[in-house]
Amino acid sequence: MMTSAATVDFNRLTHAYNHVFTDAFTSRKITPENLKSVFEQTQVDLDASQILIEDDRIIGFGFLGIRGQSGWITSVGIEPDQRGRGLGRDIMQALIHTATSRGLSTLQLEVTDYNEVALNLYESLGFETRRKLLTLDGEDKPSIDVQHPVTDIKAEHALSYYDAFHTIPAPWKRHQHSLSQLSRTHRAWMMNQAAYAIGYAWGGIIYLDDVGFLPGEEAIFGQLLTAMQSEDVLMRVHNLADNEPAWDVMQSLGYEAGIIQHEMWLNLAEA
The residues annotated as belonging to the active site are 110, 122
Determine contact, residues 82/60, Cβ cutoff 8 Å. yes
DSSP letters spanning 75-131: EEEE-GGGTTSSHHHHHHHHHHHHHHHTT-SEEEEEEETT-HHHHHHHHHTT-EEEE
In eight-state DSSP terms, residue 69 is T
Which of 98, 107, 104, 103 lies closest to 125 in space, CA to CA? 107
Cβ neighbours for 15, distance < 8 A, ≥ 6 positions apart: none
Which of 79, 85, 126, 134 lies closest to 107 in space, CA to CA? 126
> Can you tell me the distance from the alpha carbon of 263 to that of 97, in angstroms, rounded to the nearest whole number?
20
Cβ neighbours for 72, distance < 8 A, ≥ 6 positions apart: 42, 43, 64, 65, 66, 107, 108, 109, 172
C-alpha separations of 223 from 64, 137, 155, 190 in Å? 39, 17, 19, 10
